[in-house]
Amino acid sequence: MAEGLFKYEDCPLKHHIRKEAWLPLCKNRKRLLRQGRTKAARDRRLHYFTFCAVGAIDVLMLDVEKVIRPSNDRFDTVCFFDVNEEYVNETQKSIPGAIGFPGDFVEIVCADDPEEGNLIDDLAALTSATDAQDTLATRKQQACLAKRRQFILQFPFDVINFDLEGFLFQPNTPPPGRLMRAFRKVFEWQRRPLRIGTSQFTLDGFSLMLTTQIGPPNLPQDYRDELRRYLEENLDNDAELRPLLLNRTGVDNPTTLSANYFEDFFRLSTPKALANVLMAEDWYVDPDTGISLYEIERAWEGGKYRMLHLLMDIKRQNPDRDHRFAGPPPVNLLDAYRTVVRAIFERRETAVTDALIDRPAIDSHLNLIRARRAKYLGEN
């Protein structure tokens, strides 16, 4: 997660992706909001979740571009996480009124809450057990559950930006990993109704952005096996995919791909792993837009590494799980999934390099964002 002080805040390659990929996705989501069935739905403000780091560049960009609409200069439809209270407070100076949660995102989201089955509307009214011993561990658990319940109250979001700086898959936990388990909870909570005053809205879609470092190269075999299984299932279900895989990577076997061409293996399998988690929680990737991939190469003292950015529009399954019989997925959903998968095999990632970007335009755009931050900080 891009938490605390993000050293790539002013990176022109990173900002190219913000400006040319994130921004159009968010603008389109706002456009879809304006097509709501009722006036209240059309007029409501966009709700945004992010790992924005102290600089809050993405939030301020969306403010400059009139995608996020503060109320009296308060970003009360923006929600974010950071590692501690100090960083949350610093971030809120740049985006006043935003709802910040200090602590470990995964630990809070994945915490075991014995009352979760009873959480419907008034989560804040629930209290932790009073018969527990008054110990540091008990107080820590109670604080964690309080944050978790308050976080759930913010759902759902129109745009979710999981801007990670590290690895999506971490070898010290079994598959699918702590982050993927946390994402699944988030997608579950996305089904909650959005309550604004006396109005209530059900989301039929949202936009999703995920940034992750490709790797690690020593990804354990159990992770590789799970990711390889996604590819093998796709190849078995669509005879046209194997020639596409061969054309793209030079091999047509997922085992060989994993062993010899790990980065291509990661680029192909990770989007499908995410798509499967979404389907399990009653969502699916919009086949009309598919999953877009952007990539940045960075240098460090040990060599080079690559950051992969995934962007997609998500739709609610129709009929949703509360209005259909149990059984296999609907045919239209399977068709949509096959379309998305085929596009992943056909469409290569966009490599964002110095030669690709318009540096003066990037610098000018960043200056607008810095000026907007200065306004909220009360600087001249």
Q: Tell me the per-residue pLDDT of 227-259, one tens digit each, with 9 for 90 and over.
A: 999 999 999 999 999 999 999 999 999 999 999
Three-class secondary structure of residue 134 per DSSP: coil
Residue 6, pLDDT score: 66
CA–CA–CA angle 164, 286, 80 (5° rounding): 30
How do 159-167 and 283-285 pair as beta strands?
unpaired
Taking 50 as the threshold, does the pLDDT of residue 123 lie above it? no
Percent of all residues in the chain with a pLDDT value above 70, rounded to a whole number: 93
Q: How confident is the model at residue 321 (pLDDT cuts 50, 70, 90)?
A: confident
How do 194-196 and 199-201 pair as beta strands?
antiparallel
Mean pLDDT, range 314-342, rounded to an integer: 88
Mean pLDDT, range 114-143, rounded to an integer: 67
Mean pLDDT of the chain: 91
The CA distance from 170 to 268, in Å, is: 18
Percent of all residues in the chain with a pLDDT value above 90, rounded to a whole number: 77
The CA distance from 304 to 301, in Å, is: 8
> Which of these, 229, 233, 257, 259, lies nearest to 245 by C-alpha position?
257
Give per-residue burial for 45-63: e unless 16+ CB within 10 Å, then b.
bbbbbbbbbbbbbbbbbbb
Provide the 10 A C-beta neighbour count for residue 149: 22
User: How much is the pTM?
Assistant: 0.94
Taking 60 as the threshold, does the pLDDT of residue 130 lie above it? no
The DSSP 8-state label assigned to residue 124 in this structure reads G
Residue 330, pLDDT score: 79
Taking 70 as the threshold, does the pLDDT of residue 120 lie above it? no
Residue 127, pLDDT score: 53
Q: How confident is the model at residue 138 (pLDDT cuts 50, 70, 90)?
A: confident
| pLDDT tens-digit readout, 180-221 | 999 999 999 999 999 988 888 899 999 999 999 999 988 999
Taking 80 as the threshold, does the pLDDT of residue 282 lie above it? yes
Pick the residue with more confidence: 165 or 380? 165
Amino acid (one-letter) located at 103: G
Taking 80 as the threshold, does the pLDDT of residue 316 lie above it? yes
Mean pLDDT, range 23-28, rounded to an integer: 98
Residue 105, pLDDT score: 97
Residue 125, pLDDT score: 47
Mean pLDDT, range 298-321, rounded to an integer: 92
| pLDDT tens-digit readout, 44-93 | 999 999 999 899 999 999 999 999 999 999 999 999 999 999 999 999 99
Taking 70 as the threshold, does the pLDDT of residue 129 lie above it? no
